[in-house]
Amino acid sequence: MAKKPELPDVWTHEPRKVLAFSAGDKVADIDTRATPGFKGSKSDAPDLLLERCAEYAELQEMLYARSREGDNRSILLVLQGMDTSGKGGITKHVVGSGNPQGIRYTSFGKPTEEETKHNYLWRIRRALPAAGHIGVFDRSHYEDVLIVRVHNLVPQDVWDKRYEEINRFENKLVADGTTVVKVALCISLGEQKKRLMERLERPDKYWKYNPSDVDERMLWPKYMEAYQAVFDRCSTEHAPWFVVPADRKWYARLAITELLIEALTSLHLTWPPADFDVEGEKKRLAAT
């Protein structure tokens, strides 16, 4: 039997419902410290995350197990957000609680020399999850309408066509069996300052710091405008955007765990049955 989704009762509303971007929503109105749909407290979070990650991990392994017998479905988690928004933490603490055999992580930075020779979707296609896998995109094709738009790295008529192109690309992905979960981690300018400062105060965090992060901060309004366009133009029925307030890391992690559990549950997974005679095998083995 496939498992029924059971949302812990600390949630008053399903994360996928309260966090889905709706037409007309404004980025400027996002309360980045809010915890939509959640009535528990921060002190509930560690135990709850552990428990829900175990649920996620079981379903994720089931997805992988199913692919071994021909199920071609997969999940793609697209993570976008400004520097320090917590994309790495989602990868490490949430997705990373699963079985690495079935996880494919890719981070997208400034295109390499080879990548610039191709269309912007070339490197994206190469990183798509195989059957049974959860693909994680730490940044994604959306950078090609975010940083590229903010810095005019290509002319407007070029980036402007990409929104529709991305919708077509994602529709095809979904039609081919990939559930696309797009998450934008939203922090405030002030929270980012705090987190960048922490990176500068801790030698174990220097590796995450990039002096250009400060320059990008100065362009915050332009980035917010670019994010607004992404949500307005690329929230589709097949691949909606989830806008996750992320000033409270514990909330963002819990919410995204639920989004993944929901995506997995909607696949109605079950453990693959034995394709051999279990009792017969027990006897055979016992006799050895």
Tally of residues, the chain: 288
| 56 near ligand AMP, rule: CB under 6 A | no
Angle at 207 between CA 116 and CA 54, to 5 degrees: 90
* First-residue to last-residue Cα distance in the chain: 34
Q: What number of other Cβ atoms are within 10 A of residue 50's Cβ?
A: 10
185 beta partners? 81, 244
Q: Which of 274, 275, 270, 244 is nearest to 257 (CA)?
A: 244
Q: Residue 137 corresponds to which amino acid?
A: F
> Which of 55, 143, 191, 262: binder of ligand AMP (CB under 6 A)?
143
| 42 near ligand AMP, rule: CB under 6 A | no
Q: What number of CA atoms fall less than 13 Å from residue 193's CA on the CB side?
A: 5
Which residue, 83 or 247, is less far from Mg ion as judged by CB? 83
Q: Which of 168, 189, 200, 242 is nearest to 18 (CA)?
A: 242
Q: Residue 109 corresponds to which amino acid?
A: G
Q: Binders of ligand AMP: how many residues, by CB under 6 A? A: 12
- Min dist. Cβ of residue 186 to ligand AMP (A): 16
Contact region with ligand AMP (CB under 6 A), list: 18-26, 102-110, 172-180, 274-282: 102-110
| 109 near ligand AMP, rule: CB under 6 A | yes
| 108 near ligand AMP, rule: CB under 6 A | yes
Residue 34: which of Mg ion, ligand AMP, none does it interact with, CB under 5 to 8 A by kind? none
- Min dist. Cβ of residue 83 to ligand AMP (A): 6
Rounded to whole angstroms, how far apart are CA atoms 122 and 55? Answer: 34
Residue 183 near residue 256, CB atoms below 8 Å? yes
Contact region with ligand AMP (CB under 6 A), list: 7-15, 49-57, 146-154, 191-199: 146-154
| 227 near ligand AMP, rule: CB under 6 A | no
Residue 111: which of Mg ion, ligand AMP, none does it interact with, CB under 5 to 8 A by kind? ligand AMP
| 191 near ligand AMP, rule: CB under 6 A | no
| 82 near ligand AMP, rule: CB under 6 A | no
Helix or strand run (H / E) with residue 255: helix 249-265
The first and second tokens of residue 65, run together, are 């197990």
| 144 near ligand AMP, rule: CB under 6 A | yes
31 beta partners? none
Which residue, 89 or 102, is less far from Mg ion as judged by CB? 89
Pairing of strands 74-81, 178-186: parallel
- Min dist. Cβ of residue 86 to ligand AMP (A): 12
Which residue, 201 or 237, is less far from Mg ion as judged by CB? 201
| Residues near ligand AMP, by CB under 6 A | 83, 107-111, 139, 143-144, 147-148, 153
| Residues near Mg ion, by CB under 5 A | 83
